[in-house]
Structure 1
Amino acid sequence: MKKKLGIAVMYLVVAILIYFYGESILSWMRHSGKDSVVITSIVATLLALFPIIPYPVIGGIIGAAYGPVLGAVVTWIGSALASILMFMFVRFGYQDWGMKVLSSNKGLNKITILFEKNAFLTIFTTRLIPVIPSILVNVYSALSRVHFIPYSIASSLGKVPSMILFATVGSTIATNPKELIYIILFYGTFLAIVYISYKLWRKRVLSKVKIKTPY
């Protein structure tokens, strides 16, 4: 119990600090030079771990400050590390409680088993769809029996397209706003393909659950 409470308190304290000093942090990021890449990556990780400020905004600011290529790398590092850290926090502090919750419902337990068997593909695909909250993927994966290495690789790879988008949009707004429409059209088409593929795959998986579950 002390371990769970300690992690929750630590998380809450850092979240409060970011809430009060978020604007100052964003201002520093806007004016930080390229010599501050390491520090900016650490700050981006903290801002992704405690999503008080929407991360697309963070990625856009980093892209405007560092350019589309370096900005995308820094944005990706921050987001990927934050997801891995969140996974570790939840896995270390709350998995025993989470496993009881997931196994207490027959239907949810069946879905969790299928998720664990197809963990890499599921995590990778859900990362490609920005409308699926990242924190839900982090927590659900950590509470399940998904192993750390497959989660980290699938999660990090799946984040690449959206992080490139955030940084590129920020850089484009700062340099050539007219090209923004082409970026939106291209990424919108990409998302539509990914989302339709995901829905078809999810429908197939859920149909297996219904067939095998006698309720």
Structure 2
Amino acid sequence: MFKKIGAVTLYIIIGYLLYIYGDQLIACLNTYARDYLLLTMIVATLLSLFPIIPYPIIGGIVGAAFGPALGAFVIWVGSSAASIIMFIVVRFSFQDWGNAVLRNYKPLEKVTVLFERNAFFAIFLSRLIPVIPSIIVNIYSALSRVSFINYAIASSLGKMPSMMLFAVVGNTLITNPRDLILIFLLYAGFVVIVFGCFKLWKKRVLQINES
């Protein structure tokens, strides 16, 4: 009980501080990002862990500061580190309670079992679909019996395309805004393909639930 209360309290306190000083933090990031690579990665991690500011904005700022390649790497490290940190906190603080909830409802239990059997693909795919909130994937994975290694690798790999997009957009706005249309068309095509794969996986889940 104490570790649950402690984890929630710490999260609220840090989130509140970032909410109060978020504007100043963004201003500093916008001004000094180019000069402090490691510090920028830490800030990107915090702002991904506590999403008080939409992460695409962070990606755009970093991409404009470092260029598309290094900028994408910086925000990918930040986003991946944040998801792993949240997974660890939830796994060690709430898994006993959360796992019991997942197993108490038969339909949810079937979905969870299927998710665990196909954990790598499910997590990787969910990261590629922008409409699925990252925090839900983090928490659900941590409450289930998915291994840490599977989660960390699948989650980090799945984040690459969207982080590259954020950084490229930020850089393109500065260098050649006309290329934005081509970038969005390519990414939209990529998302459509991924969404088709997701629909097939969802259909399989429904078939299992009906059996």
Identify the TM-score tier after normalising by the shorter chain.
over 0.9
Within 5 A, what are the aligned runs for 1:135-174?
A: 135-174=135-174
Is the CA contact 2:124–2:157 (under 8 Å) kept in the aligned structure 1?
A: yes
C-alpha separation in 1, matches of 2:62 and 2:72: 8
Shift of 1:209: 2.5
C-alpha separation in 2, matches of 1:129 and 1:87: 19
Partner of 1:6: helix, strand, or coil? Answer: helix
C-alpha separation in 1, matches of 2:72 and 2:15: 24
Shift of 1:155: 0.2
**Where does structure 2 lack aligned partners over 5 or more consecutive residues?**
none
Residue 76 of structure 1: aligned partner:
76
Shift of 1:146: 0.4
The number of equivalent residue pairs is: 211
Q: So what's the TM-score if we normalise by structure 2?
A: 0.98
Shift of 1:197: 1.4
Is the CA contact 2:102–2:112 (under 8 Å) kept in the aligned structure 1?
A: yes
Residue 127 of structure 1: aligned partner:
127
Residue 101 of structure 1: aligned partner:
101
**Where does structure 1 lack aligned partners over 5 or more consecutive residues?**
none
Is the CA contact 2:42–2:78 (under 8 Å) kept in the aligned structure 1?
A: yes
Shift of 1:136: 0.2
Residue 37 of structure 2: aligned partner:
37
Is the CA contact 1:60–1:168 (under 8 Å) kept in the aligned structure 2?
A: yes
Runs of 4+ aligned structure 1 residues displaced above 2 Å come to none
C-alpha separation in 2, matches of 1:42 and 1:157: 19
- The percentage of aligned residue pairs carrying the same residue is 58
C-alpha separation in 1, matches of 2:11 and 2:5: 10
Residue 209 of structure 2: aligned partner:
209
C-alpha separation in 1, matches of 2:123 and 2:33: 34
Partner of 1:82: helix, strand, or coil? Answer: helix
Is the CA contact 2:110–2:208 (under 8 Å) kept in the aligned structure 1?
A: no
Correspondence 1:54 to 2:60 = no
